Chains A and B, each alone.
Chain A
Amino acid sequence: MIRILRFSTLFLLAAVISCSDTEDTDDGANTDSFDRGEMLQNWADNIIIPSFENFEGITQTLEEKTFAFTSDPSETTLNELRSAYEDGYLGFQTVSLFEIGEAEAINYRSNLNTYPLDAAGVDGKISTDDYNLELPSAYDEQGFPALDYLLNGLAETDTEIVEFYTSHENAEVYKNYLNDVSKRINALTNTVHSGWKDSFRDDFVSNTGSSSTGAVDRITNDYVLYYEKFVRSGKIGIPAGVFTGNPVPGAVEAYYSPSLSKDLYLKSLQTTQNFFNGRHFNGSQEGPGYDDYLDYLNSIKNGEDLSKLINSQFDIIRAHAEVLDNSFVSQVENNNNEMLAAYDELQQNVILLKVDMMQALSISVDYVDSDGD
């Protein structure tokens, strides 16, 4: 009976405590809890915003180089623009993960990188000079895949490609279309970056709640989704025919400049791993990230060292990428088995992230009632 009374006192205490809603939790006195606000701050201030800042500079250059090319189309300006396109595509891999806030509102990722491109659609729109890149139906007719096509895919040789912008009957439309695609990439990037600078940064950092609308919850869902759908499936699985049975070279990212495809993959992989470890953009310094959060939670439950397992799997994945051809197009055409093997390695981390990490963080995929007591 005494025991029961003791337990009931605990309950009473807990209930009284839980009713005192006015208590302020942000007094910084909770020294032995993991500070999620600090993690969000690290993500926002040291990773996400610097990534967008850097990328906005790149898309600005991209736009300038595009104008330079279209005002004076030559093989020289074409090659300069190509290099800006490559920087841009690589830079995009450092921000694509963060489809949250303004990026989510404007479908940033879909606008900038829906592939495979609808090349026939682009051809058709240019020949009729009738296009509107703002339509959702135009996702697969713009962004980096469109640049790729317009700079690398129109013809075999550079001379022939330049002719599309000089002597072709629709040369003016080609130039306009190219300009518009670059302008839109730059403008949308500006929108997202400004969104972070204006108010979203503070909203994000202060949204430390544990509900499904809390920032940690939201970005974790985004993170796992990005890794599963856009890295594993988009860059490797779909081209390797994992979901269809046959390799699909046309589904390789940067299909018209395929020697770029592996670098894009590696860059996105690096971004995902760095975010996991809270590593600062363009630096080797690390702040709080999933690794520290998992270590903290594991200090409570004494289970497997999940952060280590996930990091070593990331390392295995990158090591395996060494054997892949720089061009995933030739990789899937010549030796798709290595591509399938890459998929299997990526898959191991889907399990660790989506099953083990999500469970450890107690973040649910969807909200409905669960069982009561």
Chain B
Amino acid sequence: MNQKITSYFNEKTQAAPLAVFRVFFGFMMLASIIRFWLNGWIEKLYILPEFSFSYYGFEWVKPLGNFTYIIFLICGLSAFFVGIGYKYRLAIITFFISFTYIELMDKTTYLNHYYFISILSFLLIFLPANAYFSLDAKKNTGIAFQKIPRWCIDSIKLLLGIVYFYAGLAKINFDWLLKAMPLKIWLPSKYDLPFLGDLLQQEWVHYAFSWSGMLYDLLIPFLLLYRPTRLFAFVMVVIFHVLTRVLFPIGMFPYIMIVSAIIFFDPGIHHKILEKISRLFGIVKARFDNGRALNYLSNKRKFLLSFLSLFFIVQLLLPWRYLLYPGELFWTEEGFRFSWRVMLMEKAGYAQFKVVDGETGKRFYVDNSDFLTPFQEKQMSTQPDFILQYAHYLADHFKKDGHENIEIYVESYVALNGRQSAPYIDPNVNLLEEKDSFKHKTFTLPFHDQIKGL
């Protein structure tokens, strides 16, 4: 066993798959940033809002007014440099930091796939993705290698596998499998898709999508790993993600996943891809085929392997942290983020904040649109940590306006996966007496139903 492990970690493989991955990753990220910019989302999401919702512990990460554009510029440029493999280490570190900074500015925009990009770029910092087919390797033949340790490529496969598999596990629950929720809400609303529109009104289609979605997520990493099913699996990946792209507004993510899945193929295909690229841009690919293999110094290797092991242990454990909290996960959302729970909920809410003078009892309601964008208000009204942070912000605002003895209460309702809306936050709790933390939030009212499952 031990010997097997040792020999696995000594195994070498072609560097081409990692190089292809780097090139595609870099240019897709560049495209994402440009798309985000052109859609006017930098202004809409980060500059116009007068208030941003911070992650606990990252309150110091804030949008920087018009300088926010500079962060996006840096992020886009570094993605480009990652793509061409120029000053790779610096570029990927810059990309990781700038991209993560962007994501930390306002948790309103949290998406699992943004988190995926963050941790993937973090992983890439530690991989020799510029050893082959990069400007770095061209300029400095000392760091150019045709072969690299196999685990370098496998670590990316592992991360992709975790994302899919955990997304599949999360779908094993009562609402998704037995009630076909929330697809039953989402799919009929796509009634105007050519031909498919009518099909999406059928109940059996909702169940078929739910079950096949779950099986797809659970099985696809294994089908991609196993050579005889690999091509079939890849076709599935393409179809599945194109379909989700047609049905839901999920931006660049489907393309990123499709392109990422190419890494599961044998090096031969990657060499062909690189040949195509070389021909297109007049690159002499042969110069990289130097036959050299990258061998890490034993200390460096020990450090890398221990560090990455730690990284993956965290990745494997983090999604289970919800077990430490009481209450229904979908309702309290304690431990919901960063755990590959995608498309599982249709949640809508309404929160009306009441500012009370604790001494005179005088009260008035807050018009949320005075402070929040519609998108922020939507996210705020269904998540306790948002509600708490907003309450404290309101208190600061009204204190400045000269109000005294401020107490803040919220009357809020949330509807989850087609259930009728129900009271969400305890309306008798003065939110100013609560502080954000990783502890269970006792001011969230209990959920009067049960969603069995993982």
Which residues of A are interface residues toward B (Cβ below 8 A)? Answer: 3-4, 7-8, 10-12, 14-15, 17-18, 20-23, 25, 30, 32-34, 36, 208-210, 214, 233, 237, 241-246, 297, 300-301, 303-304, 306, 309, 347, 350-352, 354-356, 358-373
Cβ of B364 and Cβ of A371 under 8 Å apart? no
Q: Which B residues are CB-close (under 8 A) to A241?
A: 364
8 smallest beta-carbon distances between A and B, as pairs: A362-B189, A372-B253, A372-B250, A369-B251, A245-B364, A7-B212, A304-B420, A359-B348
Q: Is B305 an interface residue (CB 8 A)?
A: no
Name 20 A/B residue pairs within 8 A (Cβ), A-sorted.
A7-B208, A8-B236, A18-B196, A18-B246, A20-B195, A33-B191, A33-B197, A209-B192, A242-B365, A245-B362, A300-B201, A300-B206, A351-B413, A355-B421, A362-B188, A368-B375, A369-B251, A370-B250, A372-B112, A372-B248
Known interface pairs A4-B219, A20-B195, A245-B363; A370-B111 also in contact (CB < 8 Å): yes
In Å, the complex CA distance between A297 and B191 comes to 12
B342 pairs with A372, CB closer than 8 A? yes
Q: In the docked arrangement, what's the CA distance between A3 and B202, Å?
A: 21
Docked complex Cα distance between A357 and B377 (Å): 17
Query: Which residues of chain B come closer than 8 Å to A368, judged between CB atoms?
Result: 41, 45, 109, 249, 375
- Interface check B49, CB cutoff 8 A: no
Taken together as a complex, chains A and B put the C-alpha atoms of A244 and B364 apart, in Å, by 5
Q: Which residue of B lies closest to A24 (CB)?
A: B194
With A and B bound together, what is the CA distance between A301 and B420 in angstroms? 12
| B333 close to chain A: CB less than 8 A | no
Q: Which residues of A contact B441 (CB under 8 A)?
A: none
Q: How far is the CB of A311 from chain B (nearest CB, A)?
A: 15
Measured between beta carbons, the chain A residues less than 8 angstroms from B197 are 25, 30, 33
Q: Which residues on the B side are within 8 Å of A17 (C-beta)? A: 195-196, 199
Tell me, yes or no, whether B239 is within 8 Å of chain A by CB: yes
Q: Name B116's closest neighbour in chain A (CB-CB).
A: A372
**CB closest residue in chain A, given B345:** A371
Taking the complex as formed, is B107 at the interface, i.e. its CB lies under 8 A from any CB of chain A? Answer: no
Residue B76 interfacial (CB < 8 Å): no
Output the nearest chain A residue to B111 by Cβ-Cβ distance: A371
B350: A residues at CB distance < 8 A: 350-351, 354-355
Q: How far is the CA of A371 from the CA of B251 in the complex (A)?
A: 9
B453 within 8 A of A: no
Pair A369/B181 contact, Cβ less than 8 Å: no
Q: When the two chains form the complex, which single residue of A7, A32, A233, A347 contacts B201, counting CB atoms closer than 8 Å?
A: A32
B378 touches A366 (CB 8 A): yes
Decide: B191 and A36 in contact? CB cutoff 8 A: yes
Within 8 A of A (CB), among B225-248: 232, 236, 239-244, 246, 248
Measured between alpha carbons, how far is A17 from B113 in the docked complex, in Å?
A: 27
The reply to whether the CB of B186 lies closer than 8 angstroms to some CB of chain A is: yes
Looking across the interface, which residue of chain A has its beta carbon closest to that of B238? A15
Are B415 and A359 in contact, with the CB atoms below 8 A?
Answer: yes
Kindly supply a per-residue 1/0 record for chain B positions 155-181, scoring 1 wherever the CB is within 8 Å of any chain A CB and 0 otherwise.
000000000000100000000000101
Closest residue of chain B to A29 (Cβ to Cβ) is B198
Say if the beta carbon of B315 comes within 8 Å of chain A: no
With both beta carbons as reference points, the residue of chain B lying nearest to A353 in the complex is identified as B350
Is B254 located at the chain interface by the 8 A CB criterion?
yes
Q: Which residue on chain B has the smallest CB distance to residue A365?
A: B374
Q: Is the CB of A243 within 8 A of B365?
A: yes
User: Is there an interface contact between B184 and A355, defined as CB atoms closer than 8 Å?
Assistant: no
B256 to chain A minimum Cβ distance, whole angstroms, is 9
Task: List residues of chain A with CB within 8 A of the CB of B217.
Answer: 373
Chain B count of residues within 8 A CB distance of the other chain: 78
Q: Is B185 an interface residue (CB 8 A)?
A: yes
Which of A23, A233, A371 is close to B195, meaning CB atoms less than 8 Å apart? A23
Contact A372 B254 (CB under 8 A): yes
Shortest distance from the beta carbon of A266 to any chain B beta carbon, whole Å:
23
Q: A243-B366, A245-B364 are in contact. Are A355 and B414 (CB under 8 A)?
A: yes
Which residues of chain B have C-beta atoms less than 8 A from A34's C-beta?
A: 191, 201
Closest to B193 in A: A18
- What residue of chain A has the Cβ atom nearest to residue B413's Cβ? A351
Q: A246 to B375, alpha carbons, bound, how many Å?
A: 30
- Chain B neighbourhood of A242, CB < 8 A: 364-365
B211 at the interface (CB under 8 A from A): yes
Say yes or no: is B149 at the interface (Cβ < 8 Å to chain A).
no
Question: Judging by beta carbons under 8 Å apart, are B248 and A370 in contact?
Answer: yes
Q: Given A243-B367, A304-B420, A369-B250, are A347 and B352 also a contact pair (CB < 8 Å)?
A: yes
For the A-B complex with A7-B216, A371-B111 known, give 6 more contacts whose Cβ atoms are closer than 8 Å: A7-B212, A14-B243, A303-B419, A309-B420, A355-B415, A372-B112
CB within 8 Å of A: which of B360-386?
Answer: 362-367, 373-375, 377-378
User: Are B236 and A371 within 8 A (Cβ)?
Assistant: no
> When chains A and B are docked, how far (Å) is the Cα of A186 from the Cα of B197?
43
Whether B198 lies near A30 (C-beta < 8 A) is yes
CB-nearest residue of chain A relative to B352?
A: A347
Q: How far is the CB of B191 from chain A (nearest CB, A)?
A: 6
Contacts of B113 in A (CB 8 A): 371-372
Contacts of A304 in B (CB 8 A): 419-420
From A23, A33, A366, B194 is in contact (CB under 8 Å) with A23
Chain B neighbourhood of A365, CB < 8 A: 374-375, 377-378
Tell which of A22, A23, A359, A371 touches B343, judged by Cβ atoms closer than 8 Å. A371
Interface string of B411-440 (1 = CB under 8 A from A): 001110011110000000000000000000
Judging by beta carbons under 8 Å apart, are A210 and B192 in contact? yes
Q: Is B203 an interface residue (CB 8 A)?
A: yes
User: Taking the complex as formed, is B43 at the interface, i.e. its CB lies under 8 A from any CB of chain A?
Assistant: no
Q: Is the CB of B189 within 8 A of A210?
A: yes
Q: A14-B196, A210-B192, A301-B184 are in contact. Are A373 and B244 (CB under 8 A)?
A: yes
Contact: B239 with A360, CB < 8 Å?
A: no
CB distance from A314 to the nearest CB of B (A): 17
- B249:A370 contact, CB within 8 angstroms: yes
With contact pairs A17-B196, A359-B415 given, residues A371 and B349 touching in the complex (Cβ less than 8 Å): no
The answer to whether B198 and A360 touch across the interface, beta carbons within 8 angstroms, is no
Does B346 lie at the interface of the complex (its beta carbon under 8 Å from any beta carbon of A)? yes
In the assembled complex, the Cα of A23 lies from the Cα of B250 at a distance in Å of: 24
**Contact in complex: A360, B253 (CB < 8 Å):** no
Give CA–CA (A15, B238) in the complex, Å: 10
Which residue in chain A gives the minimum CB-CB distance to B190?
Answer: A210
- With both chains docked as a complex, state the minimum distance between the C-beta of A37 and any C-beta of chain B, in angstroms: 10
Tell me the B89-143 residues at the A interface (CB within 8 Å). Answer: 109, 111-113
**B215 interface residue per 8 A CB criterion:** yes
Q: Which residue of B lies closest to A209 (CB)?
A: B192
- Name the B residues within 8 Å of A366 (CB-CB): 373-375, 378
A19 to chain B: closest CB distance in Å? 9
Determine how close the nearest CB of chain A comes to the CB of B229; give it in whole angstroms.
Answer: 9
Q: Bound complex: CA of A208 vs CA of B192, how far in Å?
A: 8
Most chain B CB atoms below 10 A, which of A301, A347, A367: A301
Assess the B201–A33 pair: CB atoms within 8 A: yes
Chain B residues lying within 8 Å of A373, measured Cβ to Cβ, are 167, 213, 217, 240-241, 244, 248, 250, 342-343
B194 near A15 with CB under 8 A, answer no
A361 touching B378, Cβ below 8 Å: no
* A residues near B186, Cβ cutoff 8 Å: 362
Q: Which residue of A lies closest to B198 (CB)?
A: A30
Residue from A7, A32, A363 in contact with B211 in the complex, judged by beta carbons closer than 8 Å: A7
B420 near A22 (CB under 8 angstroms)? no
- Whose C-beta in chain A lies nearest to the C-beta of B257? A372
* Closest chain A CB from B222 CB (angstroms): 11
